[in-house]
Amino acid sequence: MAGALSDALDGSVAVVTGGASGIGRATAELLGEAGARVFVADLHEAAGFESIRTDVTDDAAILQLAETVRVRAGAPHVLVNAAGWDESRPFVENDVAFIERVVRINLLGCVKVTRAFLPGMIEAGRGKLVNVASDAGRVGSSGESVYAGAKGGVIAFTKSVARELARVPIHANCVSPGPTDTPLFASMPEKLRAALLRAIPFGRLARPEEVAQAIVFFAGRRSDYLTGQTLSVSGGLTMAG
């Protein structure tokens, strides 16, 4: 994988939110192997990368992240919004604080981080934006109504940015994972995890690196004529006609 993409990403600067674990961590590793200089923005330290502690629900922290990257490396070539969080609960048990937290992290975090970095990318005249949505946002998911709504918003936001900025060109695409072997999936109730696993045609969860490979595809040169797209990585769970 790294050898195939090294020419495309050598010398590139990439920022990955949520890059300390799960899909974000796997993405940061693949981008680094492909030759990019990777900044990881996360609440937790990401060993092996230029790690910047960032809370994507904190406006000041987001602005500081963008400024730190600008000073150290200039405008990024690649921005990956992979930060996310949820807990599985019936919708009627969602209190206002929970609803607002889910939306702030999964939708507004993506929107605000993108807004902070886009001016520099526009000025540079190029950029690859890859947002990590979820197939919950495409087809719905029991016990994840607010999360699904937020991730559906990420998909619509990405398509709109793609339309607005195609002439720069800024490429904006979504990777939409199905059930994946991450800490977030492990936190779900056992009964729900078992049901999802049974429903996957491949009969297993995605590995984080398998989702990351799709993200790195959108980050590299082989996706230069793609924008506004949503690619499901779900082992066939969410096939669409």
Three-class SS of 208-238: HHHHHHHHHHHHCHHHCCCCCCEEEECCCCC
Q: From residue 208, how far is each of 2, 46, 144, 183, 239 by CA, in Å?
A: 16, 16, 20, 11, 20
Largest CA distance in the chain: 50
3 state SS of 136: helix
Q: Which residues contact 160 (CB under 8 A, 6 or more apart)?
A: none
**Could you confirm whether 225 is annotated as catalytic?**
no
At 129, phi and psi to the nearest 5?
-105, 125
Q: What's the residue count for the chain?
A: 241
CB distance 118 to 57 below 8 Å: no
Q: Which of 49, 147, 217, 218 is catalytic?
A: 147
DSSP string spanning 18-67?
A: TTTSHHHHHHHHHHHHTT-EEEEEESS--TTSEEEE--TT-HHHHHHHHH
At 13, phi and psi to the nearest 5?
-110, 130
Positions marked catalytic: 147
